Chain A
Amino acid sequence: MTPERFHQLADAYGAELRRWPSAERTGAQALLDSGNAQALATLHQARLLDRLLDSHQVPAASPALVRSIVASATLTPAPSFWRRHMDWWSKAGFVGVGLAGIAAGMLVVSFGLPLMLPTSSEALPSIFEQSDADVVMSINAEETDQ
Chain B
Amino acid sequence: MNETDPDVELLARIGNNEPQAVNEMVTRKLPRLLALAGRLLGDADEARDVAQDTFLRIWKQAGQWRSGQARFDTWLHRVALNLCYDRLRRRKEQPLADSDELPEAVDPAPLPDELLQASAQSDLMAAALAALPERQREAIVLQYYQDLSNIEAAQLMNISVDALESLLSRARRNLRNHLAESRDDTGPRRETR
* Chain A residues at the B interface, C-beta cutoff of 8 Å: 8-9, 11-14, 19, 21-22, 46, 49, 52-53, 55-61, 65-66, 68-70, 72-73, 76, 78-79, 84
Contacts and interface: CB of A to CB of B under 8 A. Distances in A.
Chain A CB within 10 Å, residue with most, of B62, B126, B172: B172
A70 B169 contact: no
B161 interface: yes
Contacts of A76: 56, 59-60
Nearest to B27: A66
**Dominant SS at the A interface?**
helix
A58 B38 contact: yes
Interface residues of B, number: 51
Interface stretch (B79-87, B93-101, B117-125): B117-125
Given A12-B168, A14-B172, A84-B63, A68 B52 contact: yes
Contact of A52 (B44, B52, B175): B175
A55 B127 CA distance: 12
B75 interface: no
A78 B118 CA distance: 43
B10 interface: no
Given A55-B118, A78-B62, A79-B63, A69 B165 contact: no
B15 A66 contact: no
B122 to A, nearest CB: 5
A139 to B, nearest CB: 54
Interface of B: 14-15, 17, 22-23, 26, 30-31, 34-35, 38-39, 44, 47-48, 51-52, 55-56, 59-60, 62-64, 104, 118-119, 121-122, 124-126, 129, 140, 143-145, 147, 149-150, 161, 164-166, 168-169, 172-173, 175-176, 179
Contacts of B124: 52, 55
Chain A CB within 10 Å, residue with most, of B56, B59, B124: B59
A65 B51 contact: yes
Contacts of B126: 56
B15 A78 contact: yes
Contacts of A46: 172
